[in-house]
Amino acid sequence: MGSFSIWHWLIVLLVVVLVFGTKKLRNIGSDLGGAVKGFKEGMKSEDGKSEQAKTEIPPSSGQTIDGEARKETTKS
């Protein structure tokens, strides 16, 4: 069973279209495209937020964060 030829892929495509129908496949394609577009926009907005956060507090500002560390105990 070697590699598939173009005829194998065309038959598989025909079966998929017959099973799901063109309308359902079009809806799946548009949903997938919308998800990719939303992901890209989300990544762009996150890049802008991280760049903005870097410019708000420079590393040499001399600010100190006070805090206390607690030891975590486990129950037996």
Band the pLDDT of 74: cuts 50, 70, 90: confident
The larger pLDDT score, comparing residue 59 to residue 5, is at 5
Of 2-6, 46-50, 68-72, which range is least confident?
Answer: 46-50
64: helix, strand or coil: coil
| Element containing residue 15 per DSSP (H, E) | helix 6-20
Supply 1's token pair.
Answer: 């069973």
